[in-house]
Amino acid sequence: MIHYLQHLSFWDWLALATVLLILEVFGAGGYLLWIGLAAACVGVLTYLFPELPWVWQFFLFGLLAILTAVVWWRRQRSMLRPSDQPGLNRRGSELLGRRFALHEPIVGGRGKIKAGDSLWLVSGPDLPVGSQVKVVAQDGVILRVEQDA
């Protein structure tokens, strides 16, 4: 094994880079992309400097893998910005604070309201059909309501 490590060529690094980038295509989520690019860079460096010791090759590979991942991570973090639609993917949050008539009575703490063309499960005190309620909170797909005064 040590004999193989001492005679690594740029083809070995380029083959590793190719395998990593192919695996990335199959859905690694970006993790193998940067390691593959680091392997490709070490392959180029090994081509330019064929007498580069294998220890330095592995050191450069590790350093470049970490460096490329950190640079990309910092770039991605800097591009994050607050959404202009904070309620996106939070269905039901637009109903908080609004008032509705009960579509089905609240019995045993559960009932339904009609908001637009949708029926929503609600939890709150037992109330008859038609009672006015105010949405005060949201627990997943269940809206918490209280009787509106």
Ordered domains of the chain (ranges, CATH): 2-79 (no CATH), 95-147 (2.40.50.140)
**Rg (alpha carbons) of the chain, rounded to whole number:** 29
AA identity, residue 121: L
What pLDDT, in 10s, does the model give residues 44-66? 999 999 988 989 999 999 999 99
Q: Tell me if 112 sits within 8 A of 102, measured CB to CB.
A: yes
pTM assigned to the model? 0.53
Which tokens belong to 131?
């009672």
AA identity, residue 118: S
**Chain mean pLDDT for the chain:** 88
Q: Tell me if 17 sits within 8 A of 61, measured CB to CB.
A: no
The answer for residues whose C-beta is within 8 angstroms of residue 134's C-beta and 6 or more apart is 97, 98, 99, 145, 146, 147, 148
For residue 138, how many other CB atoms are within 10 A of its CB?
16
Q: Tell me if 123 sits within 8 A of 142, measured CB to CB.
A: yes
Crossing angle for the helix pair 31-48 and 10-25, to the nearest 10 degrees:
160
What pLDDT, in 10s, does the model give residues 3-47? 766 778 889 989 999 999 999 998 877 778 889 999 999 999 999
Residue 96 clears pLDDT 80, i.e. is over it: yes
Of residues 24 and 84, the one with the higher pLDDT is 24
